[in-house]
Structure 1
C-alpha cells in the first residue's frame, strides 16, 4: 500500500484543506502516516504570505526531494510563485484542485505528472461538500468562505484564493453540528476575511453566528480575521451577535498601519478613524475584549511621520496582541514595483513596535492576576502543563485539566504572551 504524509503550513484555512486531502486519500485506499520518513509521497500544502515563508516552503520541498521522497506541491505558493516550486515534484495542485490529490498520486505512479493550477478561477469547488479527516482534539476548523473582496496592493494570497465564494449557511451549520457531535468543543470559523462572508449570497457573518449559537450544547466559537472596511457595514448587528456567551470575546481586526496615506497606498479602503470606531463599539458592549491586530512596518512610502502615527495609534488603542510583519515584496503585486525602504530601517521600526506591543500586552495581562476566569481545556501545552483558552481566547497554562472540559481557573501569573493559573476547588 502506498504511504502518504500530508503537511500543511500557514493559516487554519490551509489546515482544513490538508484534512480534506487526507480524507480523500484515505477513501482512495492510500495509507496515511504521521512521519514523513515513512512515506512514499509527501504532500506539501504550502503558504506564500511572506517572502521568508516562501523561502521556507521551497527549502522544505527541496529537502524532501533530496532525501528521495516523492512530493506533491499544493497550496498558495503554486499560484503566487510557481518558479519557487522545484521542478522535480511529482505533481502540482492549486487550492481549488485539492479534490484531485488521489488522482495526482495515481498519475505519478504511472510515470506522469498532474499539474492542475490553470483555470482555477472557473472551478466552482465547494469544499464543504468534500470529506474531512476528523482528528483527535478539542478544536475544529470550519471554513466559511474562500477568497476576498479586497485588492490590497501588497497581497499575493488573493492570486491563489481569488474572489469571495461564501459557503451556504446550512452547510456551515451542518459541519458545526457534526463536529460538536464528535466531541469537539471549540469551532474556529476560518476564511481569508470573515468580515465579508455572505456578501455574495445575500447574508452576513452576524446572521451566520446567530444560526450557530442557536445550536444546543456547551461550546465556543472563535471568529477568524475580519477586515475593517467590511465590518463597518453591519457593525451593530455583528456586536449584538458577539454578545452571545458561546462566542469568544476575541476580535482579530487588522489595521496594518496607523497612517491614512499608507492605508490608501495599501489599498485598504478604510481609515484609522474607521478602525478606532469599530474598536470603541466592540469594547463598549463586549467587556474584556481580546483585541488582536496586524501591522506591517516598512511599507513603501512609510515616512518617519507615518510610522510615528502607527506608534501613536497603538498607544491609544492598546491591542492585547499585535502581529508585527516586516514588509516584503510579493511577486505580481503593485507594491513590489515601488521603491523599497532600506532593510535596516524596516528592522529598526519592527523592533521598536515589537517592544511596545510586548509592554502593552504585559500591562493588560497583569490585570487578570488574582481573578477567576472560565477556561476551555485544550490539552498538553508546548510550554509545559496543560494548555487552555480563557473566555476571551487568551492562552493560559494550567496545573491540570481534562481536554474538552470547561473549568474555573484562578490566574496566578501573567506574561506578555500568555497566563498561568490553577484550577479552583469546587
Structure 2
C-alpha cells in the first residue's frame, strides 16, 4: 500500500485543507504515514504569505526531493510564485484543486504529473461539501468562507484564495454539530477574513455566531481574524454576540499601521480612529478582552513620523499581543513595484516594536497572577506540562488536568507570551 504524508504550513484555513486531502486519500485506499520519513509521497501544503516563508517552503521541498521522496505541492505557493517550485516535483495543485489530490498521486504513480492551479473564477468548490479527517484533540477548525473583499497592495494570498465565497450557515452549523458529537470542545471559525463572512449571501458573522452558540452543549468558539473596515458595518451586533458565555473573549483585529497615509498606501480602507473606535466598543462591554493585532513595519513610504504614529498607537491601545512583520515584497502585488526602505532601518523598527510588544504584554499578563480563572484544557503543552486556554484565549501552562476539562485555575506566574497556573479541578465556580 502506498503511504502518503500531508505536511501543512501556514494558517488554520490551510490546516483544514490538509485534513480534507487526508480524508480523500484515506477513502481512496492510501495509507496515511505518521511522518514524512515513512512515506513514499509527501504532500507539501504550502504557505507563501511572506518572502521568508516562501524561502522556507523552497528549502523544504528541495530537502524532501533530495532525500528521495516524491513530492506534490499544494497550497498558496503555486498561485503566488509558481517559479519557486522545484521542477522535480511529481504534481502541483492550487487551493481550489485540493479535491484532485487522489488524482494527483495516482498520476504520479503512473509517471505523469498533474498540474492544476485554476483560479477562483475557473474553479471554486464548496469545501464544506468535502470530507475531513477526524483527528484526536480538543479543537476543531471549521472554515466559514474562502477569499476576501479587500485589495491590499501588499497581499498575494488573494491571488490564491480569490474573492469572498461564504459557506452556507446551515453547512457551517452542521460541521460544528458533528465536531461536538465527536467530543471536540473548541470550535475555531476560520477564514481569510471572518469579518466579511456572509456579505455575499445576505448574512453576517454575528448571525452565524448566534446560530452556533445556540447549539446545546459545553463548548467554546474562537473567532479568527477580522478586518476593521468590515467590522464597522455591524459593530454593535458583533459585540453583543461576543458577550455570550460560549464565545472566547478574543479579538484578532489587524491594524497594520498607526498612520493613516500608510494605511491608504496599503489599500486598507479604514482609519486609525476607526480601528480605535472598534477597540473601545469591545472593551467597554468586554473588559477582559484579549486583543491581538498585526503590524507591518518598513512598508514603502513609511516615514519616521509614520512609524512614530504606529508606536504611539500601540502605547495608547496596549494590545495583549502584536504580530510584528517586516515588510517583504510579494510577486505580482502593487507594493512590490515601489521603492522599499533600507533593510537596516526595517530591522531597527521591527526590534523597537518587538521590545514594546513584550513590555506591554508582560504588564498586562502580570495582573493575572493570583487570580482564579476558567480554563479549557487542550492537552500536553509544547513548553511542558499541560496547555490550556482561558476564557479570553490566553495560553496557560498547567500542572494538571485532562484534555477537554473545563475548570478553575489559579494563575501563579506570568510572562510576556503565556501564563502558568495550578489546575484546581472541574466544575469549580470561579
Name the TM-score, length of structure 1 as normaliser: 0.99
2:149 corresponding residue in structure 1: 149
1:12 corresponding residue in structure 2: 12
**Structure 1 CA distance for aligned equivalents of residues 117 and 104 of structure 2:** 12
Q: Which runs of 5+ in 1 are unaligned?
A: none
Describe how 1:7-406 pairs up with structure 2 within 5 A: 7-406=7-406
**Structure 1 CA distance for aligned equivalents of residues 315 and 423 of structure 2:** 34
- Maintained 8 Å contact 1:97/1:120: no
- Maintained 8 Å contact 1:147/1:158: yes
**Structure 1 CA distance for aligned equivalents of residues 321 and 351 of structure 2:** 15
Q: How far apart are 1:120 and its partner, in Å?
A: 4.3
- Maintained 8 Å contact 1:94/1:120: no
- Maintained 8 Å contact 2:372/2:411: yes
- Residue 71 of structure 2 aligns to a residue whose secondary structure is strand
- Maintained 8 Å contact 2:190/2:223: yes
- Maintained 8 Å contact 2:96/2:119: no
**Structure 1 CA distance for aligned equivalents of residues 150 and 387 of structure 2:** 35
Cα deviation, 1:325-356, whole Å, max 9, x if unaligned, reads 00000000000100100000000000000000
**Structure 1 CA distance for aligned equivalents of residues 178 and 263 of structure 2:** 41
- Maintained 8 Å contact 2:249/2:392: yes
- Maintained 8 Å contact 1:78/1:117: yes
Q: How far apart are 1:34 and its partner, in Å?
A: 1.3
- Maintained 8 Å contact 2:255/2:275: yes
**Structure 2 CA distance for aligned equivalents of residues 413 and 311 of structure 1:** 28
Cα deviation, 1:356-404, whole Å, max 9, x if unaligned, reads 0000000000111100000000000111110000000000000000000
1:421 corresponding residue in structure 2: 421
**Structure 2 CA distance for aligned equivalents of residues 93 and 182 of structure 1:** 30
CA pair 186-379 structure 1, distance change in 2 beyond 3 A: same
Name the TM-score, length of structure 2 as normaliser: 0.98
- Residue 421 of structure 2 aligns to a residue whose secondary structure is strand
- Maintained 8 Å contact 2:119/2:162: no
Q: How far apart are 1:124 and its partner, in Å?
A: 2.8
- Maintained 8 Å contact 2:96/2:118: no
Q: How far apart are 1:111 and its partner, in Å?
A: 1.3
**Structure 2 CA distance for aligned equivalents of residues 121 and 24 of structure 1:** 24
- Maintained 8 Å contact 2:120/2:161: no
**Structure 2 CA distance for aligned equivalents of residues 123 and 417 of structure 1:** 41
Runs of at least 4 residues of structure 1 off by over 6 A? none
Aligned CA RMSD, in angstroms, stands at: 0.7
CA pair 119-384 structure 1, distance change in 2 beyond 3 A: closer
**Structure 2 CA distance for aligned equivalents of residues 264 and 119 of structure 1:** 27
Q: How far apart are 1:110 and its partner, in Å?
A: 1.1
**Structure 2 CA distance for aligned equivalents of residues 313 and 76 of structure 1:** 32
**Structure 1 CA distance for aligned equivalents of residues 168 and 329 of structure 2:** 35
Q: How far apart are 1:109 and its partner, in Å?
A: 1.1
Q: How far apart are 1:119 and its partner, in Å?
A: 4.6
Q: How far apart are 1:121 and its partner, in Å?
A: 2.4
- Maintained 8 Å contact 1:51/1:328: yes
- Residue 202 of structure 2 aligns to a residue whose secondary structure is coil
Q: How far apart are 1:35 and its partner, in Å?
A: 1.3
